[in-house]
Amino acid sequence: MEPLDLRRAVVAGRATASQLGLQVDDAIVIHNSDRVALRLVPCDVLARVAPSGHLADSEFEVEVARRLTDVDAPVAELDPRVEPRVHLRDAFAISLWTYYEPVGSEIPPADYADVFLRHHAALRQIDLDAPHFTDRVAVALREVNDREQSPELPDSDRELLSGTLSGLSAAISSDRDDDQLLHGEPHPGNLLNTRRGPLFVDLATCCRGPIEFDLAHAPEEVGKHYAGADDGLIHRCRALNWAMFSAWRWRRDDQMPDRGHWRGEGLNQVRAALDRCGLV
């Protein structure tokens, strides 16, 4: 968020928690992108604050968290001291979560695979109306193909992303027999190492698809520890994921920090992933 919007988001997050009876003396910005994550102290709440236009996404995330907590999934939980819902304040949608102090360092591949197995098993236990991963690809493809939405994307790179998104989406989704609910974006930044063990966060990306779509977000060694995973499909999903990531970075209104760097790096990763699949 821009500085003015960020200040308003912090005020809204603090005021919401205080109004609900939680003690808030300070707010620490943990993450600032299209939405903001705040650590509120001393109540130790993680407030996720998004523009109210993202209300549906915030409500979906809360519902996913509620259902997964009920089946003991390895996910971050909503704060138990307040009602599990999204609050609206000053044009922001605010949800309140348990704050987990990070511990240790990088999660070993075998442990990463184990938490994947437990998370996917929990996802199979809940009934949820979630989009297919191809729906998300279609949104990225529209951004790439619309020059008004991605005016700075060079023509050659636009062609690369458009072809990758459309071609791989169709190829990967041709057989949906093994599709199930997924996290959607379980990259290392969305898996916290806590005293309770690894926990997935950022649940708004929940979608349906093959488990390889999730595994493609993790470090490459993780898939080798996940029994039954299709290594070739993981590589194709990784190329698709990088193409989606790149599509978001070229959006006119993208607010990811260091966007200029990630625009170039994303395209480099797309080409490398396609080369790995023998598709370049």
- For residue 156, the tally of other CB atoms under 10 A from its CB is 9
CA dist., res. 201 & res. 199, Å (int): 7
Q: What is the mean pLDDT of residues 66-81?
A: 97
Structure confidence at residue 30 (pLDDT): 94
Domains present along the chain, CATH in parentheses: 3-98 (3.30.200.20), 109-277 (3.90.1200.10)
CA dist., res. 117 & res. 24, Å (int): 37
> pLDDT band for position 71 (50/70/90)?
very high
Residue-wise pLDDT tens digits, 3-55: 899 999 999 999 999 999 999 999 999 999 889 999 999 999 999 999 999 99
Structure confidence at residue 220 (pLDDT): 93
Q: Is a pLDDT exceeding 80 seen at residue 280?
A: no
- 8 A C-beta contact, residue 149 and residue 250: no
Q: What is the mean pLDDT of the chain?
A: 95
Structure confidence at residue 56 (pLDDT): 95
Quote the tokens at residue 269. 């990763």
Structure confidence at residue 257 (pLDDT): 83
Closest by CA to 184, choosing from 111, 75, 100, 258, is 75
- Following DSSP, what letter does each residue of 23-66 receive, concatenated? -EEEEEEEEESSSEEEEEEETTEEEEEEEGGGHHHHHHHHHHHH
> pLDDT band for position 1 (50/70/90)?
confident
Residue-wise pLDDT tens digits, 126-152: 999 999 999 999 999 999 999 999 999
Quote the tokens at residue 93. 């949608």
Structure confidence at residue 255 (pLDDT): 80
> pLDDT band for position 175 (50/70/90)?
confident
Closest by CA to 76, choosing from 32, 54, 49, 46, is 46
Residue-wise pLDDT tens digits, 88-131: 999 999 999 999 998 987 899 999 999 999 999 999 999 999 99
Quote the tokens at residue 221. 């060694």
Residue-wise pLDDT tens digits, 214-248: 999 999 999 999 999 999 999 999 999 999 999 99
- Following DSSP, what letter does each residue of 196-229 receive, concatenated? TEEEE--GGG-EEE-HHHHHTTS-HHHHTTSTT-
Structure confidence at residue 88 (pLDDT): 97
